[in-house]
């Protein structure tokens, strides 16, 4: 195929549409991550009343929860990840030639994307109980089961979660920065710099929320662990 033909194939509207969908998926899921970490940071707050349990109860009392989760969380993540893999496989990093910070961020965006596939799979699978009862999240006993999950191994609270949160918050904030360019919202250098500072602030705040969640879960009592049933869950809340 000639180079002109290849250029025509890659500029076909379907690629433009997929690229926009991938970006939109990242923005929607990024918004969810920011809220998710903020909610989880309430683990650092008091146990009587149990503030984290109250937030989880509010979420679980929302109507159409499954529909909201599928359309606003899982579908955007799936589209973003699938096309993200395509972008990574076909991209050509140029860090060796231009050692600019932005080029390094370009590479880090891809490295954290791959790491996040593993982290998110472990996190979702663990919370849904695919890997056993100890890692399973019970929304009736939110605080105790979050503590049980995190304390299942030192590897989780010391390595997996701090790194997973670092990667997710970096990828989200750097993604918000590049997304504004993709959608033509920050055209001038000045606008990009201003938006860059806001994204840096969002990264620092979200990362702090994630760390507070780890410390909060770690310091919560787990005397009812490892197995929490409905009866115990009621006891935890009382
Ligand atoms: C915490 C989860 C994630 C969030 C919040 C997120 C968010 C974002 C955002 C907002 C962008 C910017 C889109 C743009 O520049 O228009 C982005 C870019 C990107 N994401 Fe993600 N993403 C996540 C997970 C993943 C995963 C699991 C992959 C797997 C491959 C991935 C791969 C990519 C790639 C390759 C880019 C760069 C696209 C480009 O420069 O053309 N992301 N992400």
Model's pTM, two decimal places? 0.88
**23 pocket-lining for ligand 1 (C-beta < 6 Å):** yes
Give the pLDDT confidence score for residue 5 in this predicted structure: 45
Determine which residue's CA is closest to atom 17 belonging to ligand 1. 175
Residue whose Cα lies nearest atom 22 of ligand 1: it is 26
Q: Is the CB of 40 under 6 A from ligand 1?
A: no
What the chain holds in terms of domains, given with CATH numbers, is: 3-88+98-237 (1.20.1300.10)
Q: Average pLDDT for residues 66-91, to the nearest whole number?
A: 96
How much is the mean pLDDT over the chain? Answer: 89
From 171, 172, 203, 210, the mutation candidate for ligand 1 (largest count of ligand atoms within 8 A of CB) is 171
Q: Is the pLDDT of residue 131 over 90?
A: yes
For residue 222, what pLDDT is reported?
59
The token pair at 170 is: 């970096």
Q: What is the mean pLDDT of the segment spanning 128-146?
A: 96
Q: Is 178 in the pocket of ligand 1 (CB under 6 A)?
A: yes
Q: How far from chain centre, in Å, is Cα 238?
A: 32
The 10s digit of each residue's pLDDT in 196-205 is: 999 999 999 9
């Amino acid at each position: 195929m000639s180079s002109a033909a290849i250029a025509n194939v890659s500029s076909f509207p379907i690629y433009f549409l997929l690229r926009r969908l991938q970006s939109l998926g990242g923005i929607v899921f990024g918004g969810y991550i920011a809220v998710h970490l903020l909610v989880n940071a309430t683990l650092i707050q008091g146990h009587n009343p149990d503030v984290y349990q109250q937030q989880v109860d509010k979420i679980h009392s929302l109507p159409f929860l499954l529909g909201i989760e599928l359309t606003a969380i899982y579908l955007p993540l799936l589209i973003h990840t699938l096309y993200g893999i395509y972008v990574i496989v076909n991209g050509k990093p140029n860090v060796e030639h231009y050692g600019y910070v932005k080029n390094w961020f370009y590479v880090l965006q891809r490295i954290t994307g791959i790491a996040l596939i593993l982290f998110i799979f472990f996190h979702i699978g663990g919370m849904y109980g695919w890997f056993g009862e100890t890692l399973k999240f019970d929304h009736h006993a939110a605080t105790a089961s979050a503590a049980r999950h995190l304390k299942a191994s030192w590897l989780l609270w010391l390595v997996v979660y701090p790194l997973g949160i670092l990667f997710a918050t970096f990828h989200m904030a750097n993604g918000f920065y590049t997304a504004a360019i993709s959608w033509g919202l920050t055209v001038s250098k000045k606008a990009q710099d201003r938006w860059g500072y806001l994204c840096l602030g969002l990264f620092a705040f979200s990362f702090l929320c994630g760390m507070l969640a780890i410390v909060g879960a770690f310091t919560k009592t787990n005397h009812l662990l490892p197995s929490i049933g409905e009866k115990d869950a009621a006891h935890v809340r009382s």
